[in-house]
Amino acid sequence: MLEAVLWDVDGTLAETERDGHRVAFNQAFRAADVPWRWDEQRYGALLEVSGGRERLLLDMRSQEHAPLEPREREQLAERLHRLKNERYAEIVARGDLRLRDGVRQLIEECVAADVRLGIVTTTSRCNVDALLGGQLGRQWESMFSTVVCAEQAPLKKPNPQAYLLALQALRLPAASVVAIEDAPAGVAAAQAAGVPVIVTRSHYFPDAAAPGVLAEGPSLGEASGWCPGAESGATRIGLDQLRRWHSAREHVSAGVGRA
């Protein structure tokens, strides 16, 4: 039986990377008088690592004017990351970054059906608060049985730590939940924890499906384009569909999951 749905945040709940975090990083560079800028393509390449601070450190490896001392690099990354998160909260407060299609409906359906919800993300807690406080209201947390962010799970995806902590908090076996993810690192993290995964493709990860995922498709807001296909007549991916894919999980083997 499907007992809980675990949500990734960036790219899955909302398309936050290109027009949210990336823009906020560039504002932070400007505010700190640092001459770096990340265009859409560069940011996409840096998404290879989870975590904004880690992303800054990765970029510094190829930045001419980056500090030479590792400790100084850490300090600069820390400062820029803090500034970035402040700017991100401002961007999100403007309401420009909305939940992706079908997300709100699926959350509401789960709440109504007593299917528990969790957040499992490698982003900072303040970013989740900013996004969900704006989109679901200040009481957003009451909808979720567990919220695991970067602060609790410093070993970031693809490490399974965040998923293992969520399962522990929910006191549920991995096979009784479903994760919704958009990025290869997230899919790998969930699978390493034994959690079945549904993939919604996002701007930066148009092809994150991996062998063994329960299903993958374009958006929870549409029923077409999913593999395996959604029930005919459906207009979006709802809880019934999640339950169907979940109960078919024994039949999902390596190599299945793509048309």
Residue 257 as a binder of ligand XBP (CB under 6 A): the answer is: no
Question: Is the CB of 39 or the CB of 64 nearer to ligand XBP?
Answer: 39
Residue 124 as a binder of ligand XBP (CB under 6 A): the answer is: yes
Q: How far is CA 17 from the centre of its chain?
A: 10
Residue 135 as a binder of ligand XBP (CB under 6 A): the answer is: no
What DSSP letter does each residue of 106-169 carry, written as one string? HHHHHHHTT-EEEEE-SS-HHHHHHHHHHHH-TTGGGG-SEEE-TTT--S-TTSTHHHHHHHHH
- Nearest CA to 99 out of 199, 8, 216, 234 is that of 8
Question: Is the CB of 50 or the CB of 241 nearer to ligand XBP?
Answer: 50
Among 2, 4, 5, 9, binds ligand XBP (CB under 6 A): 9
Smallest gap from Cβ 120 to ligand XBP, in A, equals 7
Q: CA separation (Å) from 104 to 46, 59, 244?
A: 29, 35, 20
Distance CA 81, CA 182 (A): 23
Q: What mask, x for binding ligand XBP by CB under 6 A, covers residues 102 to 121? A: -------------------x
Residues near ligand XBP, by CB under 6 A? 8-11, 17, 21, 50-52, 81, 121-124, 127, 150, 157, 183, 186
Give catalytic residue positions. 8, 10
